[in-house]
Structure 1
Amino acid sequence: MTTTHATLVIGATGTTGSRTVARLVGAGHRVRAASRRATPVPGAEPVAFDWYRPGTHAAALAGTDRVYLVPPVGDPEPAAVMLPFLRRARAAGVHRAVLLSASAIPRGGPAAGKVHEALPGIFGQWAVLRPSWFMQNFTGEHTHATSIREEGVIRTATGGGRVAFVDAEDIAAVAARALTGPDAPGTDLVLTGPEALGYDDIAATLTRVTGRPVRHHRLSFEQMRDRLATQLPREFASMLAGMDRAIAEGADARITGTVQRITNRPPHTFRDVLDRELVQEGRRPAETPAAAPTRRTVT
């Protein structure tokens, strides 16, 4: 399938953006891959885009009629830069927008929650993706993945709380459908994996799969906040540590059937992702026998 207009994917080199670009390109859609350095992305047209440089916005929007929105990383109030851009996009002819938010952030809440609240008033066709925490946090470039590789440790303030972690490939599959389907969902979509796992479970599964000991180091809210504040603005660090505390209280243990409903296939398990991505990284022998992770069904 080919289209006259293009889809602008903001954050095209990131965890979900890169995968969304790949799916759209694979389906024959024109894609403009937006990143700060206009990094080449296979099959797409690279364009320079920076949320904080409005001079890059008009060129990025040229010839597009839909947009995938990844908020600026580390900004506790992204609406200040996103809403002017979205109004400009609508005036330029964009009629469909899909926003990446998070399961822990409701409409009208902090961070992307305010953009979520405004989106239906700007675009007639829209969707908000609210995924749980990414499984790729343990395999990519996230601080968890780094500490696992370098120290064999995962540090959180989640205690014994559980999370229905979701595969970024599943998020991208839903994003592609929301961007190109006959009708936009016109709602928010809470995306989860098929199982709710505690960080102790994650550590145990990583230990089995990689053959290297990994342990979960439980921190207090204050310890987590202060640790994050060495790398991020303190307000944002407090918000992230607060999300860990919410996990400890059960906020992210729910499992939804959204991925199955939108993509017509089951969501991937954490073990699926480890088998796929750690083999690619060379951190797990391809012939290692599978070991099923702990499962818990949440209604």
Structure 2
Amino acid sequence: MTNVRLQDLGENWKQEPNDNYVLTFNGSGEAKIRLRDLYYSMVPDGSAAHNNVFRGQNLGALTPTHITNIQNGTFRDMFIGDYFSINGSNYVIAGINYKRGHGDNSSLGNHLLLMPDRFSKLDDGTVMRSDGKTTHYMNDTDTTAGGFANTKLYKTYMPSIQRKLEADFGSHLLNFRQLVSTHVDADGAPDQGEWRDAKVGIPDEPMVYGTTLNGNNKNNAWYNVGDDTMQLPLFRLNPEESNNHRDAAFWLRDIHSASEFAVANNFGDASWHGASDTWSGVRAFFLIG
């Protein structure tokens, strides 16, 4: 059978954006089926399956249907690399249920872990991309004293990033618990930390690379890593994300020494920079549900 048009099938033939169809024939009957519906009939709903598919599709604005399918745990039509476009920002799905059951409070429900495309924004619209001159995002001087919890990034910039996310996601921006380092010993290794409430976090080395590399873990990797011990699917499935699409490096929260923090470099290598380095941007993560 040739030259069959969708509208000739006598049903709702108008295609939606991003929809592709296959025609099926059974005796004298014909039908059209969306390819995505065929896919869903073969691949199960849930975080396990959807964490292992990279798609990279624009999902548009966050809708009640998205929220329903997050909260019910199906994650229907949401895959790694897909992104929401909200108020001029693109937020990429980096992991699904990544922190469920983690931390010192296990009540966190179904969620998406999102990161901005390349760099976070402050509530005044400033993009946290390094300029090589004035962007002392981690600290104004080369020190890690007081751990990550006492950095300029943690105390000044992260609250501003959070306000931007609250404006974009409202009540769907979730609270979670995260371990942050609070003290560094004479060898430049964190030796104290505490669980804190958070709505935004900075990734560590395992989240990007799947292992610890340059963090000074002499006293225990727990102070740098906490419960964020697994590689995010976004970085596992699309290696271009780990070098931030060759844009610029971004800070990680792992302390390397008394003066340096780890970074994810735009050359693809894991490295470290002095805490006042002006060439490292900020790419924070957060949860919605």
TM-score, normalising length: structure 1: 0.29
Larger proportion of strand: 2
Greater fraction helix:
1
